[in-house]
A = this chain, B = another copy of it.
Amino acid sequence: MLIAKVIGSTISTIKDEKLQGKKLMICREADESGEPTGKPYVAVDTVDAGVGDLVLTAHGSSGRQTFLTKDAPVDAVIMAVIDSLQVDGDVSYRKS
């Protein structure tokens, strides 16, 4: 899974029918301190994440192993909101 920061959202009228009603969030990969370091990608939100949250995203076929994304043409899913990260015994990120 990737550590990612949710930075925004997408709106699409024309889309595959299995995407109806799904929240497609823009994420950027982040480091162990929660700082965004990567380029943007889009993931289906399954845990009511909001812009600014640090989350975990699962990719590929693993992105379809949730109730909301089963059999849908989606390859990334937000499956956890991160409360805190700990590195070498120290807290490197804590949700504010």
A interface list, Cβ under 8 A from B: 1-3, 7-16, 18-19, 24, 26, 29, 31-32, 37, 39-43, 46-48, 51, 56, 58-66, 69, 71-77, 79-89, 92
Q: Quick check: B62 and A10 within 8 Å, CB to CB? A: no
Residue of B13, B41, B62 touching A2 (CB-CB under 8 A) = B41
Q: How far is the CB of A27 from chain B (nearest CB, A)?
A: 10
Residue of B40, B80, B87 touching A7 (CB-CB under 8 A) = B87
Q: Quick check: A24 and B8 within 8 Å, CB to CB? A: no
**CA A47 to CA B88, docked complex, whole Å:** 19
Residue of B26, B32, B47, B88 touching A32 (CB-CB under 8 A) = B26
- Once A10-B82, A14-B81 are accepted as A-B contacts, the answer to whether A75 and B58 lie under 8 Å apart by CB is yes
